[in-house]
Structures are given as C-alpha cells and as structure tokens.
Amino acid sequence: MTETKYYNNMTVLDSVDKDNFKVEILQYNSLTGSDDPSLAKNLYYAQKAGMSLKQVKVTLKDSGVIVEPGALYFHKGAITCDANIGGVGGLAKKMIKKKLTNEASFNPLYRGTGEVFLEPSFSHFLIVNLDNGSIIVDKGIFYCSQSSLEIGVASQKNITAGLLGGEGWFQTKISGTGVCVLESPVPMGEILKYNLNNERLQVDGNFALLRSDSVKFSVESSSKGIAGRLTSGEGLLQTFEGTGAVWLAPTQPIYRSIAASSLSTLAAAPYNRNNPT
C-alpha cells in the first residue's frame, strides 16, 4: 500500500501504531492559500493566537475504525462502510447510549486496507491506548476508535456525583484493547495525567476529561462543618479515589471564562450603524 506523502507544511503531532491500526494527528503549520484579504487577515490573527488546523488520519491493514457520524473526509484503498448497528439488541443499546451520553446512535465502521482521513478542524485531539481496560470520558468527546473497542455507557455510582458532579448521571465508557481518539477542549500540552496508586485526587471545578474505570468518582465538601466551608472559600470538590489514571485540563475553565467575558463585552457594546463590526 502506498503511504501518503507529507509536505513541509504538515507535522505529525502524535501517532500510535498497534495491531494493523495506525492513527496520526496531523497539523497544518500554516494556512496561506487565501486570495481574499479579509480572510487572510483572520487567518493571520488565528495563527498569531496559536490556532492551527488539524486532521486525524487512520491507516488500516485489514482492520477497522469506528468514527463519529459526519466526521469522514475521504478514504483511499479497499475500504467498506458498515452501519455498525449490531442487530436488534445492538440497535436498542445504541439508542439508549445516544439518549444518555449525547453520543451518536450509530457510529459508522470503516473496514479494510487503506487510509481514512477525518475532517480538518481547529479542535485538539488526544490519543488513548487501552490494553484490556476501560475509561470513562466526558460526554461528546469521543471522536474515533479502533473497531476492537466497545463504546458504551457508565452510570454514576452515588447520588452526589450524579446531582452535583457536573457530568450528569451518565458518561461514555470505552472498553477493551485498542486505540481511541478523543476531541479535547485543550491542547495535549495542557493536559495533566495523574497516575493514582490507592490515592485521592480532589478537583475544584469541572475540568477532568477522563479517568480509568477503576477510579471511584464522587463529590465531597472541601471542609467539614459550616465554619470550615466559610473559611476555606471552597465548596464541593470532585473526588477521585483508588488506583488508575485521571486526565485533567486545568486551563479549560480559563478558556470558558475568556469566552464568556468576550460574549458579555460584545453584548454590552453600543451598536454603531456606521461601523457595525
């Protein structure tokens, strides 16, 4: 099979090659092809801000990849597409999964030998390699995976986590042996991965992206008693306990705050009909 040639404008940010399945996160270093001055200006400021266009490429050798619906851009080789319904029982499970986790009901399965390119975007991507394990991830961040993995549903195991954890009662569970790609709200370089060894990790905020299924999740008060809560200045903390990994995105709340501030500023600005922008 002929491999795609990457030119000087493309960089491989991350890649994993496992069991006839290879996934790469490609980055376009610059976008300079615009012939529209207004668009070129926006591209210039986007590049100055550190934004870059990325694309997920999957190379299959008699293997398969499950993708989010609509994410396919193009593919080359002897590759076929399957609706991946899994019979009547599978259909019911997928409908329940969509209702509970905000994930798609039917994820297309591309199988064969060749290359699959998913849509370019300014998103960030995280590759996770599972070896007979399970992870619990935020709703809606599943992007694609090796077909050997099962995409299912995990429920919160206590009332406080479901009501106050910020994740709802159900999350997406990915299980088995294989490679998956998640759409991250922050770049890989801003993610912290903690490996807990019968330890506790407490987080003030909702910026834990995923965790090992073996790690227990709950919500606890930062201090015992009213006096402690008043003096600590904190309230409820997301609590992770046990042995396994927890991935955190500490910068995510900052981006949310900046985005909310920008929207508030735009909403409060007086309208000038001579210069509406």
Judge whether 105 and 99 are in contact, CB under 8 Å: no
Residue 37 in domain: no
Report the pLDDT value the prediction gives residue 166, as an integer from 0 to 100. Answer: 53
Report the pLDDT value the prediction gives residue 272, as an integer from 0 to 100. Answer: 56
For residue 130, what are the contacts with CB-CB under 8 A and spacing of at least 6? Answer: 149, 174, 175, 176, 177, 178, 179, 180
Q: State the total domains in the chain.
A: 1
Q: Is the dihedral of CA 143, 145, 147, 151 positive or negative?
A: negative
Report the pLDDT value the prediction gives residue 230, as an integer from 0 to 100. Answer: 42
Q: Is the pTM of this model over 0.85?
A: no
Q: Which residues pair with 92 in a beta bridge?
A: none
pLDDT tens for 5-57 read 676 889 999 999 999 999 999 999 988 888 899 998 998 888 888 899 999 99
Residue 23 in domain: no
Q: Which residues pair with 53 in a beta bridge?
A: 28
Q: Quote the tokens at residue 248.
A: 């955190």
Which residue in 177, 179, 184, 170 sits closest to 97, CA to CA? 170
Residue 221 in domain: yes
pLDDT tens for 173-193 read 999 999 999 999 999 999 999
Q: List, for the chain, all residue ranges whose pLDDT scores fall below the cut of 70.
A: 1-5, 7, 84-105, 156-169, 222-234, 262-277
The distance in angstroms from the start CA to the end CA of the chain is: 51
Residue 246 in domain: yes
Judge whether 8 and 28 are in contact, CB under 8 Å: no
Report the pLDDT value the prediction gives residue 97, as an integer from 0 to 100. Answer: 47
Place of tokens 């009501």: 163
DSSP state of 109: E
Q: What residue numbers bound the domain in which 259 lies?
A: 187-266
Residue 83 in domain: no
Place of tokens 């009332």: 159
Alpha helices in 102-179 (DSSP H): 159-164
For residue 228, the one-letter residue type is: G
Q: Please give the C-alpha separations between residue 107 and each of 95, 152, 233, 249, in angstroms, as whole numbers.
A: 11, 12, 44, 26
Report d(CA 103, CA 37) in Å as an integer.
Answer: 39
Burial class (CB within 10 angstroms; exposed 0-12, middle 13-18, buried 19+) of 10: middle
Which residue in 169, 249, 171, 159 sits closest to 203, CA to CA? 249
Residue 9 in domain: no
Residue 202 in domain: yes
Report d(CA 241, CA 248) in Å as an integer.
Answer: 14
Residue 85 in domain: no
